[in-house]
Amino acid sequence: MSASESGRIRAVPDSPEQMIAEARKAFFVMFGLLAVVWLVQLANFADHYALSRDYAVVSGDVGTLPDILVAPLLHWSWAHIESNSGPLFVFGFLAAYRGVLRFLGLTLLIAVSSGAVVWFFERGDVATVGASGLIFGYFGYVVVRGLFDRHLIDTLIGVVMGASFAYLLTVAVPGTPGVSWLGHLGGLLGGLLGAWLFRDRHTRAPAPAPAAAPAAHQAPGDPTRAALYKELDDLGLL
């Protein structure tokens, strides 16, 4: 390892090769997750949605507490799963491409936070299933992750996603019939919390100063170029 490499310690991939490798892993993880969700839907449909009835989260029912972890895999209809599949893949991929292990921990946190909010605050006659809590959690995580990690690319992604999909927040508040806004809100809170809990805690030690070149060979613009390199490095672009 060179001196410049040892001077930088980051929890997120820096080089294009590392980012591509992590993105490839994220793609297959999300493809696998969607495949599981659709296979469960097939079994659920074949059994007249008995799985959704049996494993839904019901507020105040202690017996449904373990179902918090499986309810995101279940849906009430084909229209339900179709509306969730696209956003789940997009936001899940963006949440996972910085590290699959971190993503798995984030997914568990979001499932628990979404289900817990439903269990504590939903009406007792409502049975809740669906992946939308995960979608809102991934959305919240993607939007603010770059701010906590101080990573320019992730910050830009968060700004674009936040501006493009801000309308999602309208179904995280009361007023939409047949929609578990509490599950959405709980997932969103879990994603925001996950962005802080799973933030990059590593610090970068200052890189050693380069040896001064002989005065006869030093170009007039070198100090400015060095300052530019430092600024780009601080933004995570080098």
For residues 75-85, average pLDDT:
95
Q: Which residues contact 228 (CB under 8 A, 6 or more apart)?
A: none
Residue 162: predicted pLDDT: 85
58's enclosing H/E stretch is strand 57-58
Residue 96: predicted pLDDT: 93
Residue 14: predicted pLDDT: 60
Whole-model pTM over 0.75: yes
Q: Which domains does the chain have, with CATH numbers?
A: 15-197 (1.20.1540.10)
Higher pLDDT, 204 or 74: 74
Cα–Cα distances in angstroms (integers) from residue 54 to residues 34, 67, 126, 128, 129, in the given order: 21, 9, 13, 11, 10
Cα separation, 228 vs 212, whole angstroms: 17
Residue 222: predicted pLDDT: 52
Confidence class for position 11, pLDDT limits 50, 70, 90: very low
128's enclosing H/E stretch is strand 127-128
Residue 215 has pLDDT above 80, yes or no: no
128, 186 Cβ separation under 8 angstroms: no
Residue 232: predicted pLDDT: 52
Task: Please identify which residue in the block is written with the tokens 């969730």.
Answer: 84
DSSP per-residue codes, 133-193:
HHHHHHHHHHHHHHHHHT-HHHHHHHHHHHHHSGGGGGGSSTT-TT--HHHHHHHHHHHHH
